[in-house]
């Protein structure tokens, strides 16, 4: 009957996608034993979101926010879940709530950009108006400025602003490899195959835009020396 123990077991189990149901059981038990266990509610929301049970995830996040209204990460998580449920206006509002807590929290800006991209497809004026409010609230944020410029047709045609790219991929870093795996991303293997066809052999290699090093893993056997460079430190 020790709620924290069940919450910690659930937190460990949720690290493995194959154990999400077991993690859910432990976390539900933790919240039943202690309704004020904020971490258990947050992690239960994450598990339910991963299982695509968005409405249930939203309820867990809302309970966590009631316990700690200043938790910017949970506020962002709730916005993500509401976005998936289809309520773009509420999702955007939740992002502004998160920014009111901490406007420097990078993930919430990525979340709002994704929400507004979907909103733009159905209501351009609302999306542009919301983007303007975002820039007014965070005038130095590169993602906000780029989003508004893109909606208004003012974005540079050559490339996105370096600071925008940096912030975008910093926010994407944690899930980058898993996302590309789901997309069956094959560029690293294609590059390795091309090197092999060209006779292999050791070369000095510069990997521009190396990301997490997916290409490097595939071609390191051909490298006498390899340097990777990326705008995103994370």
* pTM of the predicted protein model: 0.71
| pLDDT at site 153 | 79
Residue 108: which of 123, 121, 120, 93 has the closest Cα? Answer: 93
| pLDDT at site 4 | 95
Q: Which residues of the chain have pLDDT under 50?
A: none
| pLDDT at site 135 | 95
Q: Give residue-wise pLDDT tens across range 12-51.
A: 999 998 999 999 999 999 999 999 999 999 999 999 999 9
Q: What letters, b where the CB count within 10 A reaches 16 and e where it falls short, cover 73-111? A: bbbbbbbbbbbeeeebebbbebbbbbbebebebbbbbbb
Distance separating alpha carbons of residues 154 and 194, to the nearest angstrom: 38
DSSP label of 173: G
| pLDDT at site 159 | 66
Q: Chain-centre distance of CA 71, in angstroms? A: 17
| pLDDT at site 158 | 54
Q: Give residue-wise pLDDT tens across range 65-77.
A: 999 999 999 999 9
Distance separating alpha carbons of residues 72 and 139, to the nearest angstrom: 20
Distance separating alpha carbons of residues 126 and 123, to the nearest angstrom: 6
Asked whether 151 and 118 are in contact (CB, 8 A), the reply is: no
């Amino acid at each position: 009957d020790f709620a924290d123990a069940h919450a910690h077991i659930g937190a460990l189990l949720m690290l493995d996608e194959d154990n999400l149901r077991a993690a859910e059981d432990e976390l539900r038990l933790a919240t039943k034993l202690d309704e004020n266990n904020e971490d258990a509610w947050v992690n239960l929301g994450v598990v339910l979101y991963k299982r695509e049970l968005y409405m249930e995830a939203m309820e867990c996040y809302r309970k966590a926010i009631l316990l700690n209204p200043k938790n910017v990460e949970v506020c962002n998580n709730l916005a993500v879940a509401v976005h998936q449920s289809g309520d773009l206006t509420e999702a955007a509002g939740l992002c502004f709530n998160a920014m009111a807590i901490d406007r420097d929290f990078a993930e919430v800006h990525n979340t709002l950009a994704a929400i507004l991209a979907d909103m733009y497809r159905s209501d351009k004026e609302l999306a542009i108006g919301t983007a303007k409010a975002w820039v007014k609230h965070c005038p130095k944020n590169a993602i906000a400025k780029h989003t508004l410029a893109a909606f208004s047709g003012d974005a540079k045609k050559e490339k996105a602003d370096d600071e925008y790219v940096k912030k975008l991929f910093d926010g994407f870093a944690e899930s980058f490899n898993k996302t590309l795996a789901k997309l069956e991303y094959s560029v690293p293997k294609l590059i390795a195959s091309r090197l092999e066809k060209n006779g292999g052999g050791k070369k000095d290699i510069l990997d521009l835009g190396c990301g997490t090093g997916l290409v490097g893993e595939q071609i390191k056997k051909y490298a006498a020396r390899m340097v990777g460079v990326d705008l995103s430190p994370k």
